[in-house]
């Protein structure tokens, strides 16, 4: 069901963990649905300099968390807000249809973390 790329990212996910004093935190999903994703961002001058995640979920949820955090590193918050789940899925070379919601969670977690940063900045 999963392609090689997804399995490889699941086997060796990047950016697992927490950031000390993160500038933005986004937590989405809930345990009863079987997915919780928490993404933490370190942001300097509106540029994402570090991103970490912790995920409770299936292999696809872990792979999309890793890929999404990898993708936003180095991006401006403006560009990161434009990150879509579709781009995450494309980077992974595709996901089974019933797993697309995992990529949506990744997109939402990134957006929520940025919104958290922007609200604190005000």
Q: Which residues bind other proteins (CB under 8 A)?
A: 2, 7, 10-11, 13, 16-18, 27, 31-38, 54-62, 96, 98-99, 101
Are the beta carbons of 108 and 36 closer than 8 angstroms? no
Q: How far is the CB of 108 from other proteins (least distance, A)?
A: 14
Distance CA 122, CA 117 (A): 9
Residue 34 vs 78, nearer CB to other proteins: 34
Distance CA 96, CA 49 (A): 31
Q: How far is the CB of 93 from other proteins (least distance, A)?
A: 16
Q: How far is the CB of 85 from other proteins (least distance, A)?
A: 16
- The length of the chain is 122
Residue that is written with structure tokens 């990744």 in the block: 106
The two three-digit tokens of residue 117, written as one number: 């940063």
Residue 42 vs 55, nearer CB to other proteins: 55
Dihedral angle sign, alpha carbons of residues 72, 76, 77, 78: negative
Active site residue 58: no
Residue 84 vs 98, nearer CB to other proteins: 98
Q: Which of 71, 83, 89, 102 is catalytic?
A: 102
For the annotated catalytic residues, the residue numbers are 33, 102
């Amino acid at each position: 069901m999963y392609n090689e790329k997804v399995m490889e990212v699941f086997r060796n996910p990047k950016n697992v963990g927490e950031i000390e004093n993160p500038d933005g935190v986004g937590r989405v999903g809930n345990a009863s649905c079987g997915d919780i994703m928490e993404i933490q961002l370190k942001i300097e001058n509106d540029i994402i300099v570090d991103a970490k995640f912790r995920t409770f979920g299936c292999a696809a949820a872990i792979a999309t968390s890793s890929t999404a955090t990898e993708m936003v590193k180095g991006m401006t918050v403006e560009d990161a807000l434009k990150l879509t789940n579709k781009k995450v899925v494309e980077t992974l070379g595709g996901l089974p249809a019933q797993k697309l919601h995992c990529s949506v969670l990744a997109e939402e977690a990134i957006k929520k973390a940025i919104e958290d940063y922007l609200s604190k900045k005000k």
